[in-house]
Amino acid sequence: MVDGFVITGGKPLNGVIEVSGAKNAALPIIIATLIEKGKYTIKNVPNLSDIRVLFKLLESLGLKVTKIGDHEYEILNNGITNNKAEYEIVKKMRASFLVMGPMVANLDEAIISLPGGCSIGSRPVDLHLFGFEKLGAKIIQEHGYVYVDSSNLKGDDIVLSFPSVGATQNILIAATKIKGTTRIINAAKEPEIVDLGKFLIKMGAKIKGLGTDEIEIEGVEKLHAVEYSIMPDRIETATYVIASLVTEGQMYIKNGNLEDLGIFKSQLESMGVKFVKDGNILKVIGKVKDLKPANIITMPHPGFPTDAQAQTMLLLALIKGKSEIEETVFENRFMHVAEFNRMGANIKIHHNTAIIEGVDHLGGADVMASDLRAGAALVIAGLVARGQTRLNRIYHVDRGYEKLEEKLIKLGADIKREKFEI
């Protein structure tokens, strides 16, 4: 038995919905507490299954984690006591592989399991390993683990063949304490990397170029533990923007920052959507029947975010006319198309492009979440569909959205969590 949602659609959503802390910023920042001894206080941490998995990993490496508030944790690092990040934990979440950075920077030898995560593409760790080898690490892959001799590291120029978020974060964390100057060229520019960099700078790291394609890090001998608050989740913001549009109620998004979403904002504006910001409250204005179709290409930041692709596809599926979405980041990120089509959408796949013909409405159906963002998009689809939708395997949704159904119920959604057969 697994958790699922039973959703009865057609109810407009009205009221204020609050954006939680960003999972994709919280994970690397929490991992970065491994880089230096001390007592850290991390605030605005979302209550998610991925966060709980990560805390287990930190504790397995010798750190102590204490919850001191709803979204606040104290992390005590008295030194890494175990040089092996075990498969049983790392397999549950891809971001766990980022422990390689602080382990390599602090230990002469480290063993890290190869990661798991959502099934949206191969996402190899080759660029991570390439970066550490450029810094002087000797690496052997064997039996599902990466064995690292990091006894002779020094800064160097690392030219990434693709602006990988994970590789940029992993190298960035390690380089803060590696002697010499490290330059990450063709670095990822996502706001979550900027947030990680700000955290490390507050600890005393010397970093230049955050948010650009070239990040320079001058290694220091000593950092210090700090207090830090995680940025709001930009993909959660994008999800609520789409929910507001398709359900056509009066939703107000608290702590949503569109400026962190690259061209997502301008893309929707070109379709006819308007945004009004009043303090920390965002209002989305636009009716689906008045919006224009669009051709979208997902790209690394500041391009259109792949993590908002499934949600935006749902919107386009309800807009009259032909739209297209080309997915260039992950090769296997159209598994939600079959589920949308089960609900009455008209979407065809040609290579890495989804061709979407807008329909008048969707109908409830039995569907399944294939990954985190697809699951969120299917929740929204259920909210706007006629009749009842049964969404299976919502553990994907729980990995990235804090108490999603509770937030939506407060706005008037008819959504219940039940146990489903596998």
In the block, residue with structure tokens 């006629």: 386
Confidence of residue 59 (pLDDT cuts 50, 70, 90): very high
Domain that holds residue 359: 2-20+232-420
Q: 310 is written with which tokens? A: 């499934």
Question: Given this model, what pLDDT does residue 128 score?
Answer: 94
Q: Is 329 annotated as a binding residue?
A: yes
Domain check: are 44 and 172 in the same one? yes
Q: Tell whether the model's pLDDT for residue 94 goes beyond 80.
A: no
Q: Is 23 annotated as a binding residue?
A: yes
Which region holds residue 20: left if phi is over 0, alpha if psi is between -120 and 50, else beta? beta
- Residue 172's nearest CA partner among 143, 205, 133 is 205
Confidence of residue 147 (pLDDT cuts 50, 70, 90): very high
Please count the structural domains in the chain.
Answer: 2
Q: Is 124 annotated as a binding residue?
A: yes
Taking each continuous run of H as one helix and of E as one strand, the counts in the chain are 14, 24
Question: Given this model, what pLDDT does residue 116 score?
Answer: 57
Last residue of a domain, one of 168, 198, 229: 229
Domain check: are 237 and 310 in the same one? yes
Question: Given this model, what pLDDT does residue 248 score?
Answer: 86
pTM above 0.75, yes or no: yes
Question: Given this model, what pLDDT does residue 95 score?
Answer: 82
Domain check: are 56 and 133 in the same one? yes
Phi, psi dihedrals of residue 43, rounded to the nearest 5°:
-110, 165
Domain check: are 198 and 285 in the same one? no
Domain check: are 194 and 259 in the same one? no
- Active-site residue, selected from the candidate residues 118, 120, 193, 200: 118
Helix, strand and coil content of the chain, in percent to the nearest 5, comes to: 35, 30, 35
Q: Tell whether the model's pLDDT for residue 118 goes beyond 70.
A: no
Query: Tell me, what CATH number does 385's domain have?
Result: 3.65.10.10
Q: Tell whether the model's pLDDT for residue 119 goes beyond 70.
A: no
- Alpha helix (H) residue ranges in 73-222: 87-90, 100-106, 126-134, 165-175, 191-202
* 3-state SS class at 19: coil
Domain check: are 250 and 373 in the same one? yes
Q: Is 125 annotated as a binding residue?
A: yes
Q: What is the overall mean pLDDT for the chain?
A: 94
Domain check: are 178 and 84 in the same one? yes
45 is known as an active-site residue? no
Domain check: are 157 and 215 in the same one? yes
Position with higher pLDDT, 122 vs 311: 311
Q: Amino acid letter at 346?
A: N
Q: Which helix (H) or strand (E) holds 174?
A: helix 165-175
Domain check: are 153 and 285 in the same one? no
Q: Is 123 annotated as a binding residue?
A: yes
Domain check: are 29 and 161 in the same one? yes
Domain check: are 192 and 328 in the same one? no
Q: Tell whether the model's pLDDT for residue 418 goes beyond 60.
A: yes
Q: Where are the beta strands (DSSP E) in 9-119?
A: 14-18, 38-43, 64-69, 72-77, 84-85, 109-113
Domain check: are 248 and 216 in the same one? no
Which region holds residue 92: left if phi is over 0, alpha if psi is between -120 and 50, else beta? alpha
Q: Tell whether the model's pLDDT for residue 117 goes beyond 70.
A: no
